[in-house]
Each structure stands twice: as structure tokens, then as C-alpha cells.
A and B are shown apart, each in its own frame.
Chain A
Amino acid sequence: MKEYSIIGKPTPNVDGPAKVTGEAAYSIDITLPNMLYGKLLRSPYPHAKILSIDTSKAEELPGVKCVITGKDTPGGKWGLWRRFRELADQQALATDKVRFIGDPVAAVAASTEEIAEKALDLIEVEYEPLPAVYDPIEAIKDDAPMVHDDFPSNINATRHIEWGDVDKGFAEADYVREDRYVIEAAHPCAMEVHNSVASYDKGTGRLTVWTSTGSPYFVQQNIAEALKLREGDVRVIKPHVGGHYGGKNSTMPDAVNAAILSMKTGKPVKIVFNRDEEFTTTEHRTAQHMALKIGLKKDGTIVAFEAKAITNGGAFTGLGATTLFLTGTFITMPYRIPNYRYDGVRAYTNIVWGTSIRGFGAVPSKYCAETQLDRAAKDLGIDPLEIRRKNAVAPGYEAPGQYKFESCGIQACIEKMAVRVKEKWPNVEKDEGIGYCGFAYMSGGIFNWIDTPYAYSSAHVKVNWDGTVDLYSQAADVGQGHNTVAAMICAEELGIGIEDIRLHMGDTAHAYTDLGAWGSRETLMNGNAIKDAAGQIKQKLIDLARLKLGENIAYDLVARNKRIYLELRPERGLSYYDLVKDAIRANDGVPLTGTGHYTPHNKGMISPAYGMGIMAIKAKVDRETGHVTAQDVLVVHDSGQIINPLGARGQVEGSIHMGLGYGLCEEMPMDQGMLLNPEFVDYKILRTRDMPEIEILDVPTYEPNGPFGAKEAAEATIAPAAPALANAVYQACGAEFFSNVLKPEKVLKAIREKEKKDKESAKSKAPSKAKGK
């Protein structure tokens, strides 16, 4: 691997000091002169007609400045799947009917938050409850209540993927098994709840919105659609974000209603969700039913695979239709599957909608596929790591018409894992097991359902006379550390230090488009745009240096350590700062600028690059209580050239934390569409002391599509945690699981079932033994 000055060096987060001292401003911290506070009145019914809304008493309450209902809104619908207009299904306030408990029906702006809350109690809404549907299998039945009138059988989206000859593959298999799963929902649980401040300037007709989002661009587009404004009249600013995890891609009613209230009152309006609203009305990981069929040869080679998914979409589309699409893709990775078929349907139901939570598409699907693979391995008498090695893809592997792996270190990851496991866990005690899971995940999505006409990512770099650099982009740091990565890439390309970089990120008025932080896209996509922009300036400086040095034109010059010099004669060079001054003088006094962009081309349907690897978890099962302890986690990861090892480690650890929570304790039980655990008292997440030790080993590769060879590091490692844990329990005691949350009562039940099955099996063998005598 190439040695860089900045890339690959552990670098503290550039936002770290501001965050730990409390100086960093989040949208929740923003207070503007004369600002009002907004609150939303929400439906208590999962499905009901709105017969009437009387806001008169609320309007009379002192301090209330404005009350709106659906009829007071511009009525524009929005969504992230706007390429299909009928899937742009969100609206500011429900008009004809409500579709889930928490669907907003009215909004209030008042001088204080408390007055706004009181005003909500004074609004009288008359509903006519309608039959509701909560389960996706029920929802697609002919006689199911219709969540949206234009969608018969509540079919929101479908997806079919097929390659090879699947039926022939199964016919040729020595071993075929089928399994059915029910996978639970989970909440992203960001520390910072959804919140927005909107300020409309009646004089200019321009709207500014500060909001906690993963994509200022998406919010700008959606608000413009909802309010029927031009996109150029909507400015969205993303300050620091206190957690995203996929739950802040959609534009939510806080931003849109704050904007409407500001337009009506002429004053800034702030809306902050409380924790109950956050749990009950914002997006979560999609619950789903899955059915899998796998066919293998006796030696463990996969010859055919088929997957069916029915996902619980909830009331709206969000990025949930993308999740359906990706479920059918990531379930195949990182294995060679010659014959494959996937069918998925996303059903509208009367619950809050499921969407693109961290590792979307991969998390539920990998749980199912990897636990099934372990059962197949056991039946065939093959070691679980060996079956993964045997089927793992190699560089250049192409799933026909879908995706291609260019850099691909999975084989090396598995080999490294095999060696390290023997060293690390030479002995496995009674009731302990080691479970494995292979994984791969995209480095940004190629799909364009938002239908943007812009480059997927853009960046603008300006070099000032003193050598400092202003970097502008809409790319979003949502806590994953992209600001640091962006500064490192820009500094490396220009050969300067990150202390020379000033970041101006996440503001739609100051930068060209970037589609935001989702699908692990910022490092590769925004990184490429930054490198392109900075590279243009570097070239200008190199050209000037070549002129001034007068060296042989065949000699290569490099920008490093704040100098431009001959690569093979480092002593012959010029100061970066001196060159910048000369270049600006020569440029009629205009600062040096570069505008870079990136849009993937000819890279398949999914992503230009994939992070990948294998995870092992050692777990212990208490056979008396059913309690499962994840003792130790080992992950071997190919993230290409890692830009910031410190940040990458944080991302992997965070993913494992979320993944283990998904496997052990996080769930969203509902009764008639009502969430039963909408507080952290009842919604259990793992705490620091619950976390096992995590060892991360890297297998460096060079990804040709990424900046400096980089690819994703943020999400791939969430998917394998729950299946590796379930597989560890399976190895420890043979208990099988067909859903993800391994609560003690479930584990205990599975252990008892296994014991019963073993007894029956022993009994059935007994007569033949007697006969033998």
C-alpha cells in the first residue's frame, strides 16, 4: 500500500473540541429573534377518517399565534421515490384520513412550547375509525383495509431479481433446505431527536430551514415540493447532527410544518419532537417476513438460492422501497451464487413507516441467510468458516446485471480469521460457541429514485492568498466523521495540513449538490468530488512550479508536506505558500478555485465499491435462564485504503453495538398499531458495560473507484453481528432461531425444543437398535 502524509494516519475528529466543550451548535440549539415554538397534534387512531377539526378554542388561547390544519397547507406531497410520483406520499398534515397512530392532523405556533402544548389539548377532532391492518401478510390479502386508496392490496413496491437458472440449480443440488423467518423492527435511537427551525422572509420570498438531517438536498427538494416553492428559494442548513443512523433521510413533518407556520406568521418557528414522538412517529428499521431456499452440493458449494421478502412498510414510502430492493441484493453477498431469484413486496400498513436504517437491506436479510447457511453446513458436516471460504467471491466477481466487486479482500479476510480464531480462542468451554457471518455493503448507491438531475456529489475548493483553503460541499457529517475525512482528503491532495482547511458543509446555499449521508456514500462519493476539486488546484500549482523550477519535463512533481517538489529529488522544490501567492498574482488576483464532482457510471445497479469481511462472535448460553452473553467479537474487514483509522474504528464499533442490540434486546412490540415501549426505560439498548471486547483486523485493498483507494467503513459491520451471535448460540447448544431478538425466554424455548427433538430422535433410533440385537 502507498504511504500517504495524512491518509491512513489516525486523526482526531476535526469537530471534536467543539463537541466536547459544548460549543458545537445543533439545530436544536438555534434560537432566532421573535422565534415561535411549534407543536403537532397527532392522531390517536391507526386508521380513521377525519370528519371535522375545530381549532377555535386553541386560537383563543393567549400566546397562540397560529393554528393550521391540512386545509391550510399548500397540499404538496413529497417523498424520496419521486421518480414514481405516486410514491411521493407524505404530506404536512393529514387531510382526508389518518394512517397511523401519530399521523399529524394540526400544528400550532405559540410564544412558548408550553402554550403550544396546551393549545393542542384545545383542538377538537372528530374521527370515524376505520378498520386497520398491521401485518404485511394480512395487508396484501384481497379483503384488507386499504391504507392508500390507489394501492390495491396495499402493494407499495415490488422487486424481482433473477440470474442463472434457479430451478435447474435446485435440481442439481445434493441438499436443499427451506426456512421461514419473522424479523423485528428496531429504532435508530439517535440522541438528538428530529427538530427544525424555519424562517421565512416575506420580502424576498425565501425560506431558510435549519434541521437535523442526513441530506440537506433531500430536505430542500421535499420542502420545495410540499410548499410549491422553487428549490432555489429554499435554503436548508444542516448544523451538527446528534445521530442519524438512517432515521434522518426522509423529510419529516417538523421541517415542513415549521416552514408553513413561519410563512403564515412571518416569524421563525421551531419544532422539536419529544422522545415519545421520536419513537412513535419517526422512521425505524423495517420488520419483515422472509422465506429462503438454498441448494448446495455435498461439498458445500452453493448452486441455487431463492429469497422471498414481505416487508412491513407502514403508512408511507420513505426509503423503504429502496430497502426492499437492497434486501434482495445484500442477501447474496459476499458469496458466489450461480443461480439466484428474489421477490420482494413492500406492503403499506397502519403503522409508522419503516425505512433505511443503518445497514439497510443487509441487516434482516443477512440474519436469515447466514443462520440458514450454518444449518446447512451442520447438516452437510462442513465447518461453518470453511463453507463461507468455499463460497466467497474473488476480485472481479460479477452478479449478472447487478453488481461487480473490483477490490475484494474477502478471501484474505476469511484466511486471516481462521488463523486468528485459533490463536484467540484455542478452547471453547461447555455452552460456549463461536458463530460466523460474512458481510459486504455498498459505498454509496448508484440508484437515483430521488431523480436528481445533479451530480451525485460535488465540492468546491478555494485557496486563499495565505494558503488556507475553503472547502464547500453539501455533504453531511452526521456524527460519522465525514468532516474529518473531507478535510483529510483535501489536505492530502493539496499536500498541506488539515489545519489549513476550513469546512463549509451541509448548506444548500453555499455548495453544489451532494445527496447526503446514507448508504455509506460520503467517503467514496464526496471524497472523489473533493479530490477532483483539489486536484485541479494542485495541477495549477504543479504547472507553475514546473515553470519556475525549469526541470526536465519528464520529471514528476508531487505536492506533499506543504511543498511542490520533484518526486525523485525532494530537495528540489518550492513552498506551497509561495506558489499560491504567485499563482494568485498570475491569476489577476483571483483566488485559486476548483469544482469537482462525482457520479458513478457503468458500475452496475448498486454501488461502485463494497466494503466486506467476516465477523466471529464467541458467546455463552445459560441453559437454565436462556441468557446469552456475547463474550468477544472479532472482525476482519476490508475497507480498502482506510482514510482515518480512528474514525473507521469508531464506525465499526458503533455498528457492532447496534447490530448486537438488534440481536439481543431491541424490538418494537405493537398492539393495534400502538408502540408499547416508546421510552428508553422500556426500549432496551446495550450500554457500554454490556459490550464485549471488539478486535478489528484490517485487510487492506485498493479500491480503484474510491479516493486514494477508499471504500465504505460505516455500515457493513452492523449486519453480521446478530447472525454471528445467533450462530454462536446454535454452535453452543443447537438452538435454532427464526427471528432476531434472542431474549432469554426465546432462547430457553429454543433450547427446550432442541432437547425435545433430540429425545424424539433418540427414541426413533431405539427400535432399530433393538432389532439389531
Chain B
Amino acid sequence: MPNYRCPMCRKICSEHLDLARHYLGQTDKKHKDWLKTQGLSYAALIKAQVTEFGNKGYQALADVLKKTAAEVNEG
């Protein structure tokens, strides 16, 4: 099974949704700025996550990470 690497740091997760959870847990500028390059807003994703039931914010980011996060074979 492939793993996926965060585009901004060394974090590796086995699922894109987990990677999205990691990503939105980071508060540094570097992580936030990359979202802008993908046409996403950190604040909008957080708002989607906290104002509606479900994982809407994480899922929206996970969909982008599916296309952008590098696959790695390390554990």
C-alpha cells in the first residue's frame, strides 16, 4: 500500500484524509500559503469543518492532496 507525503513537510500518512487532518493542524505560514497556490483557503476549510457535521473541510483538502501529494513507499 502506498503512503503519501505532506507537500510542505516530512509527514507521511497512509490515507489522504489523514494527511488533510495533519495539514490543517499545522499553523505555520508555509503550510497555509501552499493552500493558496491550490486555490484553497485555510480559513474556509476550517470553517467548513467546524460549522457542518461531517469531515467536509478535510475531505475538500484530501481531494486536492489526492492529485498533489507524492506517493512514498516508506512506512
**A residues neighboring B (CB under 8 Å):** 84, 86, 137, 140, 142, 152-153, 155, 157-158, 160, 162, 167, 178, 291, 293, 306, 308-310, 341, 343-345
Contacts and interface: CB of A to CB of B under 8 A. Distances in A.
Nearest to A160: B21
Contacts of A309: 50
Given A152-B42, A158-B25, A160-B25, A291 B47 contact: no
Contact of B46 (A84, A86, A158): A158
B36 to A, nearest CB: 10
A167 B50 contact: no
A152 B53 contact: no
Contacts of B27: 84, 86, 157
Nearest to A154: B43
Contacts of B55: 341
Given A84-B27, A343-B49, A167 B54 contact: yes
Contacts of B43: 140, 142, 152-153, 155
Report whether over half of chain B's contact residues are helix, strand or loop; otherwise say mixed.
helix
A178 B44 CA distance: 23
Interface in B21-49: 21, 24-25, 27, 32, 41-44, 46-47, 49
Contacts of A155: 42-43, 46
B73 interface: no
Contacts of A158: 24-25, 46, 49-50
A140 B46 CA distance: 9
A308 B46 contact: no
Contacts of B46: 140, 153, 155, 158, 345
A436 to B, nearest CB: 26
Contacts of A142: 41, 43-44
Given A84-B27, A86-B27, A160-B25, A343 B50 contact: yes
A310 B54 contact: no
A388 B47 CA distance: 33
A152 B44 CA distance: 10
A305 to B, nearest CB: 11
Nearest to A170: B53
Contact of B53 (A86, A160, A162, A293): A293
28 contacts: A86-B27, A137-B51, A140-B43, A140-B47, A142-B41, A142-B43, A152-B42, A155-B46, A157-B27, A158-B24, A158-B25, A158-B46, A158-B49, A160-B25, A162-B21, A178-B53, A291-B51, A291-B53, A293-B53, A306-B54, A308-B53, A309-B50, A310-B50, A310-B51, A343-B49, A344-B50, A345-B46, A345-B47
A158 B54 CA distance: 16
Given A140-B46, A160-B24, A306-B53, 12 more contacts: A152-B32, A152-B42, A153-B42, A153-B47, A157-B27, A158-B49, A160-B58, A162-B21, A308-B51, A310-B50, A343-B50, A344-B50
B48 to A, nearest CB: 10
Interface of B: 21, 24-25, 27, 32, 41-44, 46-47, 49-55, 57-58
Contacts of A152: 32, 42-43
Enumerate the 5 nearest inter-chain pairs by beta-carbon distance, A residue then B residue, closest first: A153-B43, A345-B50, A343-B50, A343-B49, A308-B50
A84 B27 CA distance: 9
Max count, chain A CB within 10 A of own CB: residue among B21, B43, B58: B43
A343 B46 CA distance: 9
A312 B69 CA distance: 35
Contacts of A310: 50-51
B12 to A, nearest CB: 17
Nearest to A137: B51
A442 B42 CA distance: 32
A694 B51 CA distance: 39
A365 B22 CA distance: 25
A160 B58 CA distance: 10
A287 to B, nearest CB: 16
A178 B51 CA distance: 13
Contacts of A157: 27
A617 B9 CA distance: 52
Contacts of B32: 152
Which of B49, B50, B57 has the most A CB atoms < 10 Å from its CB?
A: B50
A623 to B, nearest CB: 35
B18 to A, nearest CB: 10
A364 to B, nearest CB: 15
A155 B51 CA distance: 14
B9 to A, nearest CB: 15
Contacts of B49: 158, 160, 343, 345
A137 B43 CA distance: 12
Interface centre among A153, A157, A178, A306 (most CB of B within 10 A): A153
Contacts of A86: 27
A639 B51 CA distance: 37
Contacts of B21: 160, 162
A368 to B, nearest CB: 14
Nearest to B48: A343
B66 to A, nearest CB: 19
B56 to A, nearest CB: 10
Contacts of A306: 53-54
Contacts of A291: 51, 53
B58 to A, nearest CB: 8
B47 to A, nearest CB: 6
Nearest to A291: B53
A322 to B, nearest CB: 15
A86 B30 CA distance: 14
A167 B53 CA distance: 10
A407 B47 CA distance: 38
A554 B41 CA distance: 70
Contacts of B51: 137, 291, 308, 310
A70 to B, nearest CB: 25
Most chain B beta-carbon neighbours within 10 Å: one of A155, A158, A178, A306: A158
Contacts of B54: 167, 306
A510 B57 CA distance: 50
A293 B50 CA distance: 13
A570 B26 CA distance: 61
A291 B24 CA distance: 21
B6 to A, nearest CB: 16
A167 B54 CA distance: 8
Nearest to B20: A160
A253 B60 CA distance: 42
A89 to B, nearest CB: 13
